Amino acid sequence: MIIELGHYCLALVLTISLFQFLVPALGVRYNSIGLMSTSYITAYLSFILVCFSFASLTYAYVISDFSVSLVANNSHSLKPMIYKISGVWGNHEGSLLLWVLILTFYSAAVAFLGKRLPVKLISLVLSCQGLIAASFVSFILFTSNPFTRLFFPEIEGEGFNPILQDFGLAIHPPFLYLGYVGLSVTFSFSIAALLIGRVDTIWVKWVRPWTLIAWVFLTIGIALGSWWAYRELGWGGWWFWDPVENASFMPWLAATALLHSSIVAEKRDTLKAWTILLAIIAFSLSLLGTFIVRSGVLISVHAFASDPSRGLYILMLLIFFTGGALALFARKAASLKSGSLFQPVSREGALVINNIIFASSAATVLLGTLYPIFIDAINNSKVSVGPPYFEAVFIPLMVPAILLCAFSPMLSWKRAKLENILERVIAVFILAIMITAIFIFIYGGSISAFLGLFLGLWLILGTIYEFFIKVGIKLSFTKFLLRAFQLPRSAYGMSLAHLGVAIFVIGVTVSSAWRIDIEKPIQNGESVVINDIELIFLGIIDVNGPNWIAERGKFEVIRRGKNNEYLFPERRFYPASKVNTSEPAIMSNAFFDLYVVLGENLNNDESYSLRVYYSPFINWIWFGIMCMALGGILAVTDRKHRLGYSVKKNPKAIYK
């Protein structure tokens, strides 16, 4: 009965979402406050109903109700509770329901926080959100119903994909969707601005914090996905340019460009049309990511569905929202008046270059991701575009972006003197070169390693120097601290995010340039030496888990001056799904990871294949990403970005 109620609530949400789309829009058309005000209650009601619908499906997973087709196909009674719950969104139908839950949450949050916004603006925003919600709910109900009952209930479920039974992937999709769907808010604000024909301070002050929120969640979601792939897939890497990895990375690049362009729109009242276009592109890339993951057009370990009818429906949604928004932009963008002009050498100019680089980077990733689809459609042949392409085209684009990132905050608005900036940064440049040269001289390394280290150090030193200049480099220590405490959180957020980028770059460079790989057969009592660390194989232990059985290898790790440690890599077998997996064992600290993967038994004797990876500074990658996300959190909590910014006059005023 609970399942049927959840299904009924979802069907009711479709009707309410259509009402939320049509009635407030009519209210705007006829200047009716009463009709426009209905957008608030419909946004709240949709969220409440979707909450109940999602809770009912979660309940079915928790109690292992195998009369529900989705539960029978994706769960098992012996599965740990955390994976029963995460299994709700670990499939196509459930993940879409999570998408709609987050979408209606954002709509309700906009309605609650936007009560003091001009009612015409907020009504159009919620109307657009209602149309997006109606589209996705109809997609669920007509092609991907998660509440389908089995005529003959199963006694036991088929289990859950073993590689998805990991804590990292249990929390990765919710964070990623909070980022994906968060971009719908900036999209809706952009559509509302185009329909009204006005972009002002109110609009920018609302678009920027919502963009920051979505960007932070996207950053955390991508980091968690990378961390899961590193820990679970057993290949020792953290990024493979997989199509679905790219699907989340492209909107992140667009959102990063949007963040920087919105600074110019807020500070200098210019780049309005470009900011709106970026908001449209960012959400369109989120929809494209949905299409890639759920259409089956590309093969990936992350992909959920391969039903052509589902892919066609999402493609139609993508064309409708992207095509419609771009057509509206083409018609209305010319009416958006820009503010003051600026010189190429200025902070505005640097941010424009930043936008060009990030937009170009997103385009190159998009091309490499979609190229196999085009080739398959033209001559029915399968091709793949791998890391060599992306590294060859993406990395060179990022080099000037990082070089610019270190000193662009030092540039003044409207016009700056380049010679003054060069005088400031020349010492930073020389110091970064010297430190990098010393490191390479001691440890060796290629030109690419030198460049990567230099860029990371250049950005760290430049960010610190820019912070000192901002506070007052010639002040006494007491006055310096006082001024530092008076800086807004957004200033700290920007500096911390840039430091996070630098730490990330150093982590990627060092872990790639000085990584050591060993692959060999090993028998009981034999050892492997890797970078002065001895790894001794002590044998195999048979282990029974809650829903798996495993061969667990025992390895003793001997390091000079350290107590001996033990690592336990496993080869697991999941009887319900009849799948074998490798569970790496990782000895991890701030300076290196020792990553051990136990392979197959060789020739039915005591010999096993073994892979060992020594990856220095690899954890700096995720630490840097988390610093970036924390910088975004600091920025969004700044007073000037506080949601709820209202019109100084009548809060119910209607845009003329």
DSSP class of 301: T
pLDDT for 520-532, tens place per residue?
Answer: 999 999 999 998 8
For residue range 61-86, list pLDDT tens digits in order: 999 999 999 999 989 888 889 999 99
Looking at residue 645, its pLDDT comes to 47
In angstroms, rounded to a whole number, what is the distance separating the alpha carbons of residues 32 and 37? 9
Report pLDDT digits (tens) over 394-429: 999 999 999 999 888 888 887 777 777 787 789 899
How far is 408 from 418, CA to CA, in rounded Å? 11
Whole-structure pTM value:
0.93
pLDDT tens per residue, range 455-492: 999 999 999 999 988 888 777 778 888 888 888 999 99
Q: Is residue 606 scored above 80 in pLDDT?
A: no
pLDDT at 647: 46
The reported pLDDT for the residue numbered 109 is 96
Q: How confident is the model at residue 296 (pLDDT cuts 50, 70, 90)?
A: low
More confident residue, 241 or 376: 241
Sheet holding 516-522, edge to edge: 516-522, 607-616, 592-602, 585-588
Residues 6+ apart with CB under 8 A from 68: 3, 57, 60, 146, 147, 148, 149, 150
| Percentage with pLDDT > 90 across the chain | 62
The reported pLDDT for the residue numbered 652 is 44
pLDDT at 372: 81
Residue recorded with tokens 């309410």: 16
Q: From 328, 334, 53, select the one nearest 191 (Cα to Cα).
A: 328
Categorize the per-residue pLDDT at 649 as very low, low, confident or very high, splitting at 50, 70 and 90. Answer: very low
Question: Which residues lie across from 555 on neighbouring strands?
Answer: 537, 567
Domain ranges for the chain, please list them. Answer: 1-165, 417-514+619-629, 521-616
Q: Which residues contact 327 (CB under 8 A, 6 or more apart)?
A: none
CB atoms within 10 A of CB 152: 6
Mean pLDDT of the chain: 89
Stronger pLDDT, 116 or 57, i.e. the higher one: 57
pLDDT tens digits, one per residue of 634-647: 999 887 766 644 44
Beta-strand pair 570-574/579-583: antiparallel
Concatenating the DSSP letter of every residue in 226-284 gives: HHHHHHHSSSS-S----HHHHHHHHHHHHHHHHHHHHHHHHHHS--HHHHHHHHHHHHH
Mean predicted confidence (pLDDT) in 647-655: 45
Considering 195-209, 340-354, 589-603, the range whose residues carry the highest mean pLDDT is: 589-603
Say yes or no to pLDDT of 633 above 70: yes
**Tens digit of pLDDT for each residue in 104-154?**
999 999 999 988 888 999 999 999 999 999 999 999 999 889 999 998 888
Instruction: Give the DSSP per-residue string, 529-573.
Output: EETTEEEEEEEEEEEE-SS-EEEEEEEEEEETTS--EEE--EEEE
Give the highest mean pLDDT range of 66-80, 267-281, 497-511, 633-647: 497-511
Dist. CA 19–CA 36, nearest whole Å: 11
Query: Please, which residues have CB within 8 angstroms of residue 245's CB and are 6 or more apart in sequence?
Result: 222, 225, 226, 229, 239, 302
Which two three-digit tokens encode residue 51?
């909450």
pLDDT at position 643: 60
Which pLDDT value is given to residue 651? 43
Beta bridge partners of 518: 612
pLDDT at res. 295: 64
In this predicted structure, what is the pLDDT of residue 648? 45
**Token representation of residue 201:** 């301070």
For residue 302, pLDDT over 80 is answered with no
Q: What kind and span of H or E run contains 17?
A: helix 2-29
* Confidence tier at 514 by pLDDT (50, 70, 90): very high
The whole-number average pLDDT for the span 269-292 is 90
Residue 135, SS3?
A: helix
Taking the C-alpha atoms of residue 207 and residue 189, their distance in angstroms, rounded to an integer, is 7
- What local confidence, expressed as pLDDT, does residue 339 receive? 66
Mean pLDDT of 439-452: 93
